[in-house]
Amino acid sequence: MVLGQRRRRRGRWTRNGIRAHQDRRGRRQRRCRGLLGAGGAGGAGGFSLGGVGGPVGRAAPPDRLPGWSEPAAVTAGTARSATPPGCRWSRWQRRPGRRPGGAGGTGGVGVVNGGHGGDAGNAGLLFGSGGLGGTGGVGVGGKGGAAGHGGDAGLLFSSAGPGGTGGFGGSTGGAGGSGGNAGQLGCGGIGGAGGFGTITGGTGGTGGTAGRLVGVGGAGGAGGDSTTTGGDGGDGGNAVLIGNGGNGGNAGTGPTTGAGGTGGTGGNLLGVNGFDGLT
């Protein structure tokens, strides 16, 4: 008999001897197993005895095609993508191009300088949201690691990911990650805060750019605090056509404060500039 041909057996319609209701259930299970979820987070950077903590991998973007199989070996510091257990995604999310990007991994700890946080994965093609940027690693005697950037959003009605927080630094805090950019419609991601530094706080991350048609620019991240000089706030993201610019981030606190970030530019057609951050 030709494969897939239906035949009548013992009073029930079957396909190759499998009853119809069992066949439908099997197809549902296979569909859930074949469609993957969000991009996985990048692995954490390794500890470094002599200097900079190990870097982390960029988070994998979400899988847009069914049937993709995970690589056999996934090591620390390498991007990966994980199959969700069971079928946790809704019917709407199971369609390609509608899944979120994975978060970036945390930078490794260093005796001197911390490792760089991983960049987040971008969203699916249409509706997914961008992932969260990875946190910068701790630098015990020197600079904290810079944070990873937030993931970009999909084209329509989706949110861009925020930037990660800068790492703690024995002298200078790590810089916050910039927010992800929106697609056609949507707001830019918020910039990450700068890390704490004993001498100088880290600079806040820049807000992401708004959607090309309509959207508000992301707010800039706050500067890192310090026992000596606070870090500068990040600049707000710009609007493109219609929408307001993002507000600048506030300066970090300390005996001497840094400068507040500059507000983003409003849209060319309609919109106002964002407010500057407080000093």
Asked if pLDDT for residue 35 goes beyond 90, the answer is no
CA angle 221, 160, 69 (to 5 degrees): 125
Q: Residue 79 pLDDT > 70, yes or no?
A: no
Residue 72 has pLDDT above 80, yes or no: no
pLDDT for 62 beyond 90:
no
d(CA 191, CA 250) in angstroms, rounded, equals: 12
Q: Side by side, which strands form the sheet with 12-15?
A: 6-9, 12-15, 18-19
- Residues in Cβ contact with 7 at an 8 Å cutoff, skipping those fewer than 6 apart: 1, 14
7 has pLDDT over 60: no
User: Tens of pLDDT along 38-56?
Assistant: 444 444 454 444 444 444 4
Q: Compute the average pLDDT of residues 95-101.
A: 61
Residue 63 pLDDT more than 70?
no
> Lowest-pLDDT range, 48-52, 65-69, 102-106, 216-220?
65-69
Give the pairing of strands 6-9 and 12-15.
antiparallel
- Token pair, residue 184, equals 């056609």
What is the 3-class SS of the chain, one letter each residue? Answer: CCCCCEEEECCEEEECCEEHHHHHHHHHHHHHHHCCCCECCCCCCCCECCCCCCCCCCCCCCCCCCCCCCCCCCCCCCCCECCCCCCCCCCCCCCCCCCCCCCCCCCCCECCCCCCCCCCCCCCCCCCCCCCCCCCCCECCCECCCCCCCCCCCCCCCCCCCCCCCCCECCECCCCCCCCCCCCECCCCCCCCCCCECCECCCCCCCCCCCCCECCCCCCCCCCCECCECCCCCCCCCCCCECCCCCCCCCCCCCECCCCCCCCCCCCCECCCCCCCCC
Percent of the chain with pLDDT over 70: 63
pLDDT, tens digit, 9 for 90 and up, residues 111-163? 888 888 888 877 767 777 888 888 888 888 889 989 988 888 888 777 888 99
CA distances (Å), 29 to each of 33, 76, 86, in order?
Answer: 6, 31, 8
User: What's the pLDDT score for residue 189?
Assistant: 94
Q: How confident is the model at residue 164 (pLDDT cuts 50, 70, 90)?
A: very high
Residue 145's identity, in one-letter code, is: G
- pLDDT at site 14: 54
Q: List the beta bridge partners of residue 110.
A: 48, 139
Instruction: Tell me: pLDDT of 253 over 80.
Output: yes
Per-residue confidence (pLDDT) for residue 98, from 0 to 100 = 58
Q: Residues 218-236: pLDDT tens digits?
A: 999 999 999 999 999 999 9
pTM of the complete model beyond 0.75: no
Residue 112, pLDDT score: 83
**Structure confidence at residue 95 (pLDDT):** 54
